[in-house]
Homo-oligomer: A and B are copies of this chain.
């Protein structure tokens, strides 16, 4: 095992990097800022995809696919959006390579293949999609359009971290079109709820639902809703966003429809997305110094069986004894791996599967077969129990449910311990800099104050919580009046 056991308490950031590498989740590639998602990491992403996709379809959405490239002239059309993403755009300028006459054996972009118009590699797809929707929408009967896309996008980044911030990442982006403002807002909130439900019930991560301030809004949105999770180091991670885009894109791309009353009106829009960043959250919230900890609902392998044996004959005996259990679990949707490898000792295997976050590990030896017992270890608490083979099928099934809810409860408990109401600048600094958590603080509502606090402390307003109580107060920095608390935190 190459796992170098940097502890979270020693260097959280380095612990994360090593965990991603050692648990075989992802690695840096030869392309600056782009990652390779390795099979084990990708298997977790597939679980995330499948579940979200089901939830999108249950809420009436269908998938489609739009081009990777956006012609510059389309990209420019929605000004705020263009301005917001211009600095991160990979630009295609040529469509052919040719032999480089000056350096034999190498290629160069063929000057004769220079494009008349540059193509932007999509950083997000509002522009290309709304340009398409123009042709799809004439009448109110064509609305709503409820489409999602699974795709790769590119946002050039100088400082990257695996899953958390990479130049290319995988995501889904929903793009919906509506006849009324109310319906578009309803959709925006509905998808935020889908994200929150997914985060809490599948990722086992409690989240705060809220609205971004103007400074933190998606470029081109009238409102950005978000879910914010807390990592074990007390920093926030934005786990998903749902944007109410108003009529901004409809106006930029001239998308109008004839209403029931026969009027020509601009269409209302939303967009919403989550990305492979979720992998970063999943890792950071649950894992420990021994490695990854996965909630059963997103684990590619639920149960690993490590046989404890000396001879090939013993191994076969153990495998035969476990076969009916494996069958029974399979029928319950529980994925079991029997670790046959005969070149590694059980202790090594235990550590390896611990590193990979498999929720339940069984150890079975000759004596167990004689006694009709199995040793069962749960990854989350590391508790071990010797359990009778009779009833072990249900035991494991229940244990997986228990681990799922325990992970959520545990995450919620330590998050709640790190969320503080603060009423003075000293308290604010104490939470952000010493206690390292979320500061629920009054704020005067101005971008200037927000900016100043960010400069002074690196803390940003993560969101204005949807469920905040209206409570008059004074801004923690300026003393000016405030209508309620917002969430300040350092963030990924």
With a 10 A CB-CB cut-off, give which of A73, A93, A97, A147 has the most chain B CB atoms: A97
CA distance A37 to B132 in the complex (A): 11
Distance, CA A64 to CA B24, complexed state (A): 11
Q: Per-residue CB proximity of A52-73 to B under 8 Å, as 1/0? A: 0000000000111111111111
Taking a contact as CB atoms under 8 Å apart, the answer to whether A97 and B86 are in contact is yes
A25: shortest Cβ distance to chain B, in Å? 11
Question: Which chain A residues numbered 65 to 112 have a C-beta less than 8 Å away from chain B?
Answer: 65-76, 79, 82, 86-99, 105-109
Bound-state CA distance A99–B43 (Å) is 42
Q: Please give, as numbers and ranges, the residues of chain B lying within 8 Å of A170 by CB-CB distance.
A: 65
Question: Is there an interface contact between B67 and A39, defined as CB atoms closer than 8 Å?
Answer: no
Contact A42 B67 (CB under 8 A): no
Contacts of A39 in B (CB 8 A): 62-64, 147
Picked from B68, B70, B76, B131, the residue with its CB within 8 Å of the CB of A154 is B68
The docked-state distance in angstroms from the alpha carbon of A199 to that of B484 is 61
CB pair A96–B156 under 8 Å, yes or no, is yes
The answer to whether A67 touches B97, judged by C-beta atoms less than 8 angstroms apart, is: no
The answer for the CA separation of A120 and B86 in the assembled complex, in Å, is: 20
Q: Which residues of B contact A156 (CB under 8 A)?
A: 95-96
Q: From A67, A75, A92, name the one whose CB has the most chain B CB atoms within 10 angstroms.
A: A67
Contact with A66, one of B29, B73, B87, B90 (Cβ below 8 angstroms)? B29
Task: Compute how far the CA of A92 lies from the CA of B94 in the bound complex, rounded to whole angstroms.
Answer: 7
A119 and B31: CB pair below 8 A?
A: yes
Question: Once the chains are docked, how many angstroms separate the CA of A34 from the CA of B64?
Answer: 14
Q: In the complex, are the beta carbons of A95 and B89 less than 8 A apart? A: yes
Enumerate A251-275 residues with CB–CB distance to B below 8 Å. Answer: none
Query: Cβ of A93 and Cβ of B91 under 8 Å apart?
Result: yes
Given A62-B43, A107-B86: A31 and B67 within 8 A (CB)?
yes
* A31 and B68 alpha carbons, distance in the complex (Å): 9
Q: Are A109 and B97 in contact (CB under 8 A)?
A: no
Chain B residues positioned under 8 Å from A71 (CB to CB): 30-31
Does A37 lie within 8 Å of B62, measured CB to CB? no
Does A397 touch B at the CB level, under 8 Å? no
- Please name all residues of chain B whose beta carbon is closer than 8 Å to the beta carbon of A424 when the two chains form the complex: none
A91 contacts which chain B residues (CB < 8 A)? 92-97, 109
Cβ-defined contact, B119 with A90, below 8 A? yes
A46 within 8 A of B: yes
Which residues of B are found within 8 Å of A42, using beta-carbon distances?
62-65
Assembled-state Cα–Cα distance A168/B88 (Å): 22
A118 within 8 Å of B by Cβ? yes
Contact assessment for A29 and B132 in the assembled complex, using a CB-CB cutoff below 8 Å: yes
Residues of B within 8 A of A82 (CB): 97, 107
Report the Cα distance A89→B71, complex, angstroms: 17
A35, CB-defined interface residue at 8 Å: yes
Chain B residues with Cβ below 8 Å from A68 are: 34, 121, 152, 154, 168
* Cβ-neighbour of A46 out of B63, B128, B152 (below 8 A): B63
Give the shortest distance, in Å, between A260 (CB) and chain B (any CB).
13
- Mask, A172-213, CB within 8 Å of B = 1, is 000000000000000000000000000000000000000000
A244 to B400, CA, bound (A): 43
15 contacts between A and B (CB under 8 A): A30-B67, A30-B128, A31-B71, A35-B67, A37-B64, A42-B65, A43-B63, A68-B152, A72-B106, A91-B95, A92-B92, A92-B93, A93-B94, A93-B109, A151-B152
Q: Assuming A31-B69, A91-B95, what are 12 further A-B pairs, CB within 8 angstroms?
A: A29-B67, A31-B67, A34-B67, A42-B64, A68-B121, A68-B168, A75-B107, A76-B106, A91-B97, A91-B109, A93-B94, A96-B156
The 5 residue pairs across chains A and B that have the minimum distance between CB atoms = A34-B67, A39-B62, A37-B65, A86-B97, A91-B94
